[in-house]
Structure 1
């Protein structure tokens, strides 16, 4: 305990020193990098009809937010990015619910287009990031380009290279394509590094009075929103890294090991990656969450070998859940990305997982997705886990039909294989309608009794043995006031039965929120939930009285088939008991949970976000109060800080359910230069008596080939696992 008391203040002092004394200027603005590989050229005609646009990189995350915009329903903007080694292509689909009111009057090059409907592409560049380069376009294909000097504050529209553009108007709005030459950006010969944003101006909705040279397209207060974009200018067939890893861990691992990370491109559309002896201890640890369900939580993936397939396998029935794989000794992945299809093949070899009691196993995934029609996509997925004694697997088929701009149908059919040979099918059907300011979703699921028992060996599903109906309605009301932009009302709920038609659970949830003409919103939520105690000990001797410990354990062991996944956790929630030598049973046949909450959010993009949430309610047999806080801060162009706090006052003392809990998560990213990066991760969970600290440093000592990484970590990096172990890793890599 003495070590813990001194550990936290010492860490906070160290973090403060890093923030104050280390240099605060560098060549980037964000840590989330988009990578764009070279592909075939595009004919710039403004239609976005070529198949390559369908498989291009989506760029909605680059859109500048417009918090002051009024009446924005039906004004969605889609952004697409592509490059061929010579040009960066940016495509816009600008939907407009009033296409007859689109303004396009200016036809002279470098006219101030802010009074016209227009789109913009902006870059942050220069030797010291002292310029913003901008390219604008209206519906008459009038081009505007120039640069804004951030030091002197002047705008120079005389500057500008020759670039290509085209526009088209249609019944739903308009589309635009721009092609910006890459020769204007510094290049290493193999790649181009950019900092980019895109914007759309709708003059009839945007404020009339502007305070900056590029407003309302862009405000200088939003400079921290620029995101890094890496263009791989010349495709190398063989890329990779060989590395030497020295590690000191409590686990029985070789202290010195070598490995390979190889990538081979058969073409721009077909690549493979081979990984030998990776060390996932170099990856940022999992974050701790509070679980207000009887189900297993789904944890985000942070390991880059799995990250690019995590979204591809994120289905209603997740047939391949990469967090089931703890460590691997070898892995191979093949990805294909074509105009009308994409596929992924993956195999890994994992050593014995002693903590989860999983023997040495191999994991496999095959996924093929087809786009036979512009409005239709279909996907076939298969996965398996194989060890010396058993084989588990899943196969599924899912589809999506965008029948109109506001109506979508999607579904999934799946079957699992393993120890349970029967009742292992699942079906999901969903529909979504959106008309102007109204959105409605409706879904139906039928999941057989044994589907999840097999699937969870390799995939993810919260629960099985259910027939479920889901519904959600969201209505937006635009308010023409000086302060408030819109008022939102929402409702969602579900009800599900077991396959024997026993009502197991239902819930209803309501939302009311205000969105102000800024980046701020506030709201109220309320949720009521009914849940049947399926493991209630009907007729058990001594119910609500003293129960002999051995007798209770015998009863617990007899409950072999609990449909919910995490049986120990569920058993403690549904059947809470107290005592050491005997149990005093406190469970109920059915539970009525509820929670009421207030939230306040401010979202100005990375480095300018704030969230506050307060909830009170009852979870099973105990009252609770929850306080959640999130804040991220761009201290400079190089230093980003992110802090999360969960405070839970919960009068429930039965492990593994929650006691009163504090969860603190602090992240610091300090990019000292293009060559040096320092990351700090700190987590404290008082309910688990868990502290995790990780310091990661990365130094490119021989650009761009030689990289050295050093990581020191205390505590477990896995969700809800605890230890006080200290580990250190040093990796030397040579990239080729």
Structure 2
């Protein structure tokens, strides 16, 4: 399907949906009402609050605590004013502070983790239905953070890059913020007397205090601050109309790329360009088109060490796929704590299957995406075409020498009857031919019963230059009862792959209770052996999995302890004949201190049945058999608001037929509000009858911000298991809203017995943002 057909198809889908009846949604009850005042004079955005326009606005205060004392008045006064005109909405915060010298502002880079600093936030539910909204946050240093919230705030799209302005200032009484948010960046229902949902928040980090206009219940957990099902009302907006929205962002890219793999190193210079276009088909539906989509500025994946039989799961980092990604979610819920040994989720759609093949990036010729909502429906459609490419890589591999002089690889050596007399390391040149591929995804969700939905998904990996195909279709339902305290979720999907038939269905059901300090989850997953979503992620097929997770989070009346979190998890996995394959029991207990630190530990018991041996490390195999092993772990997560923060985790215990010690640490040093050093270290020390080994994984990241719109970042990674060292340097200057300059340098080395260069590249990318 080429891009013209894709565009026509999307327009037909929109037309059909527009003719269907609307689902009436009853807005949730609200507890506070604030007003926006229309202004004819745009306030000057400099963070000082001395513009005369602000005197027209009605002041809002009376913030209440969510933490530490639920419902208590804020210990520091916050005053908010809201204005609007036909182009923007303006919001100011005056954050009074009794000890302004202790205000925490350690980050200046855009999209930083600002909850670790003093900060203010705004949620705008522009449909006033409690299902989602737009989130904005800033800190005293001027760093900005924005995201789109869906599923009542449970899902957050942090890749959304809104064009908005924010400035801050500090004085002897505290700090101030002024925001200007362009209305054409938001989706909202047109109305003669618009009412939006709103929440306003403030974090005072040194007190570990979080206050809100409408404080979400503590039982909502850490992510409660993003929940959109309990908001105030923003009135006074008057008549809101949306003009057709058009944004165009062309870019130019130039650079060199040198590959050292293969017998003849090659160097290639490039100079090309592309364009991204965003157009509002309706006030609530947006079409994105991208020609020669480029991801030069995307940071390298975090290195991981895999000591399991299954594939590693890497998060999506590319903005084109991240923006609006939540509508395409279909499959298992991603558990925060990762029960079942941290097994990745089974997903029908996993965007990293597009444009990435065995760790190599494929050129994206064209991409199109339609996202938004229409009369009770949430809609997502995606079409991407990737170019054909051949990858050549030189590796050093071990060969086994027979008594007759034959060289055999590892698998051949296992099967031969010949006597092995020696081993040799030989250079092997591998090539990977990837053909042109087209991927399409259609996703529709229908809101029902106020806070529930049903949905459908279809994916297609088209033939391109090849003639094979892979298709998947599925339905899902998400039901919410008793003010979201009880939920039921389920999905069912079937795949069609050329040359395969039968045993190609997968499905899952989940039941969840969250009430006060008690949480309970139970789920069932069934994946048949030939279920094959080639643009999805299936860590394990031919299985049935049962999971139960119970959690108690009491808050004792103790001056030093804020909360406990304790409970068991259990996962039980069989094959399709109900023969046990693996199981895991874990009991963990954590304590949240009043100063913000978390400390705790856990006990685990695992069972694994191996029907085939697997290589856990180079030349070290775990043989066929049944294994039961136990372990304990300790975790310490200090509050990251300090100059030096991070986390520490240590685990020890049995590992199959041996032992394993695992250490993981993250250390963040906030040298100034402009300069941060982050270091991650992971160690595995494993002893087995077949041999012992040690793995090290180190990541070091340096961030320096000249201003909120200008920063540099350096990254170095070493993974001893993969025998690779990589570095990445990025300079990003946003010279105008939405317009960027990127300078990127990448360098990789093979780190085996000797250090050898793998590749290096330098690229300069300049983009320009234009909107009408």
When the two structures are superposed, what TM-score results if normalisation uses the length of structure 1?
Answer: 0.63
> What whole-Å deviation, never above 9, does each CA across 1:281-338 have from its counterpart, x for those lacking one?
3211000123353221221111000112443334214112111121322211111234
Match of 1:244 among 247, 252, 268: 252
Is 1:715 aligned to residue 748 of structure 2? yes
CA deviation string 1:594-637 (max 9, x = no partner): 33100011234698752110011233333221111113344433
- 1:572 matched residue in structure 2: 615
Aligned counterpart in structure 2 of residue 531 of structure 1, from 601, 605, 608: 608
1:338-391 per-position Cα deviation (integer Å, ceiling 9, x unaligned): 462211111111123545654221111111111122132112111121231310
* 1:153 paired residue number: 173
Residue 686 (1) aligns with residue 720 (2): yes
The corresponding residue for 1:263 is 278
Could you report, residue by residue, the CA deviation over 1:655-699 in whole angstroms, capped at 9, with x for unpaired residues? xx9941221112233221255221222211122221111111123
Corresponding pairs, count = 532
> Is 1:512 aligned with 2:548?
no
- Determine if contact 1:513/1:523 at 8 Å carries over to the other structure: yes
Q: Is the 8 A contact 1:684 1:692 kept in 2?
A: yes
1:392 aligned to 2:428? no
CA contact (8 A) 2:91 2:179 kept: no
Q: Could you tell me which of 702, 716, 721 is aligned with 1:668?
A: 702
Q: 1:660 to 1:437 in 2, by over 3 A?
A: same
Aligned-partner Cα distance in 1 for 2:253–2:725: 25
The whole-number CA distance in structure 2 between the counterparts of 1:82 and 1:716 is 55
Note if contact 1:606-1:632 (Cα within 8 Å) is conserved in structure 2. no
Change (3 A) 1:497 1:630: same
- In structure 2, distance between residues paired with 1:624 and 1:127: 45
Question: How many angstroms apart in 2 are the aligned matches of 1:448 and 1:45?
Answer: 41
> Residues 705 and 374 of structure 1: is their aligned pair in 2 closer, same or farther, counting only changes over 3 Å?
closer
Matched, 1:333 2:369: yes
**Structure 1 residues 281 and 492: alpha-carbon distance in aligned structure 2, compared to 1, 3 A threshold:** same
Pair 124,646 (structure 1): closer, same or farther in 2 beyond 3 Å: closer
Q: Distance in 2 between matches of 1:705 and 1:376?
A: 35
| Distance in 2 between residues matched to 1:642 and 1:85, nearest whole Å | 40
Match of 2:761 among 721, 727, 734: 727
Partners of 1:437 and 1:470 lie apart in 2 by 20
How far, CA to CA, are the matches of 1:647 and 1:233 in structure 2? 57
Written as runs of structure 1 = structure 2, the 5 A alignment for 1:15-34 is none
Q: What is the aligned partner in structure 2 of residue 38 from structure 1? A: none
**Cα RMSD between the aligned structures?**
4.5
Instruction: Identify the residue that residue 524 of structure 2 maps to in structure 1.
Output: 444
Determine the C-alpha separation between the residues in 1 that align with 2:519 and 2:601.
19
| Aligned-residue offset at 1:189 | 10
Q: Secondary structure at the match of 1:305?
A: helix
1:585-600 pair list within 5 angstroms: 587-600=623-636
The counterpart of 2:494, out of the listed 415, 432, 437, is 415
> Deviations 1:93-135 (Å, cap 9, x if unpaired)?
xxxxxxxxxxxxxxxxxxxxxxxxxx996999999869xxxxx
2:65 and 2:71 in contact (8 A); partners too: no
Q: Secondary structure at the match of 2:258?
A: coil
Match of 1:619 in 2: 655
C-alpha displacement of 1:46: 6.9
Could you say which residue in structure 1 is the equivalent of 2:447? Answer: 371
Q: Is the alpha carbon distance of 1:624 and 1:267 closer, same or farther for their aligned partners in structure 2, counting shifts above 3 Å?
A: same
1:247 Cα deviation (Å)? 2.2
Displacement of 1:88 in angstroms is: 6.4
Q: Are 2:678 and 2:702, in contact at CA under 8 Å, matched by a contact in 1?
A: yes
1 CA distance for matches of 2:723 and 2:581?
A: 34
Matches within 5 A, 1:113-512: 150-153=170-173, 185=179, 198-199=200-201, 217=211, 237-250=245-258, 255-314=270-329, 315-316=331-332, 317-325=346-354, 326=356, 327=362, 328-338=364-374, 340-352=376-388, 354=390, 357-387=433-463, 388-405=466-483, 406-418=485-497, 419-451=499-531, 454-455=532-533, 457-512=534-589
- 298-307 or 626-635, larger mean C-alpha shift: 626-635
1:645 aligns with 2:681: yes
Task: Describe the SS at the equivalent of 1:250.
Answer: strand
Contact 1:191 1:234 in 2 (8 A): no
Instruction: Quote the residue 1:12 is aligned against.
Output: none
Query: Is the alpha carbon distance of 1:661 and 1:120 closer, same or farther for their aligned partners in structure 2, counting shifts above 3 Å?
Result: closer
The 3-state SS of whatever aligns with 1:312 is helix
Residues 562-611 of structure 1 deviation map (CA, whole Å, 9 limit, x = unaligned):
xxxxxxxxx324xx8959xxxxx861411223331000112346987521
Paired residues of 2:304 and 2:719 also in contact (CA < 8 A): no
After TM superposition, the score normalised by the length of structure 2 is 0.61
What's the CA shift for 1:89?
9.1
C-alpha contact 2:384 2:438 (8 A) present in aligned 1: yes
Contact 2:481–2:487 (CA<8 Å) still a contact in 1? yes
Contact 2:290/2:367, CA 8 A, preserved across alignment: yes
Check conservation: 1:577, 1:586, Cα contact below 8 A: no
Shift of 1:199: 3.5
Secondary structure of 2:282 counterpart: coil
Cα contact 2:668–2:676 (8 A) shared by 1: yes
CA contact (8 A) 2:328 2:380 kept: no
8 Å contact from structure 1 (residues 643, 667) kept in 2: yes
Cα distance, 1:513 vs. partner? 1.6
CA pair 69-126 structure 1, distance change in 2 beyond 3 A: closer
Distance in 2 between the 1:255 and 1:338 partners? Answer: 42
> For the residues of structure 1 that align with 2:698 and 2:386, how far apart are their CA atoms?
32
Task: Show structure 2 runs of 5+ residues with no match.
Answer: 1-25, 34-62, 73-81, 93-119, 124-135, 144-166, 187-197, 213-224, 227-239, 260-265, 333-345, 357-361, 392-431, 751-755
Structure 1 residues 716 and 500 mapped into 2: Cα distance closer, same or farther (>3 Å)? farther
CA shift in 2, pair 1:85/1:401, >3 Å:
farther
Q: Secondary structure of the equivalent of 1:280?
A: coil
Q: CA deviation at 1:278?
A: 2.7
Whether the 8 Å contact between 1:85 and 1:234 is mirrored in structure 2 is no
Distance 1:152 1:591, change over 3 A: same
User: 1:600, 1:396 → 2: CA distance?
Assistant: 41
Cα distance change, pair 357–618 in 1 and its aligned pair in 2 (3 A)? farther
SS in 2 for 1:277: strand
Query: Which segment drifts farther, 308-317 or 641-650?
Result: 308-317
